[in-house]
Amino acid sequence: MAGEPQSDCLFCKIVSGEVPATIVRETETTVAFRDINPQAPTHVLVIPRVHYPDAASLAAGAPDVAADLLREAGEVAAQEKTDATGYRIVLNTGEGAGQTVFHTHAHVLGGRGLTWPPG
Ligand code: 5GP
Ligand code: ZN
* Contact in structure between 65 and 2 (CB atoms under 8 Å): no
> pLDDT tens, 9-35?
999 999 999 999 999 999 999 999 999
> pLDDT tens, 69-101?
999 999 999 999 998 889 999 999 999 999 999
Confidence of residue 42 (pLDDT cuts 50, 70, 90): very high
Q: How many CB atoms lie within 10 A of CB 19?
A: 11
- CB of 101 within 6 A of ligand 1: the answer is yes
Distance 24 CA to ligand 2 centre (A): 19
Q: How far is the C-alpha of 19 from the C-alpha of 1, rounded, in Å?
A: 23
Q: How many CB atoms lie within 10 A of CB 59?
A: 17
* Contact in structure between 31 and 14 (CB atoms under 8 Å): yes
Examine the pLDDT at 119 and tell me if it is beyond 90. Answer: no
Q: How high is the pLDDT of residue 16?
A: 98
Examine the pLDDT at 1 and tell me if it is beyond 90. Answer: no
Q: Which residues contact 82 (CB under 8 A, 6 or more apart)?
A: 42, 108, 110, 111
HEC profile for 61-94?
HCHHHHHHHHHHHHHHHHHCCCCCCCEEEECCCC
Catalytic status, residue 103: no
Q: How high is the pLDDT of residue 80?
A: 96
Q: Which atom of ligand 1 is nearest to the CA of 39?
A: 10
Structural domains of the chain, with CATH: 10-110 (3.30.428.10)
Q: What is the pTM of this model?
A: 0.98
Q: Which residues contact 79 (CB under 8 A, 6 or more apart)?
A: 24, 25
Q: How high is the pLDDT of residue 43?
A: 98
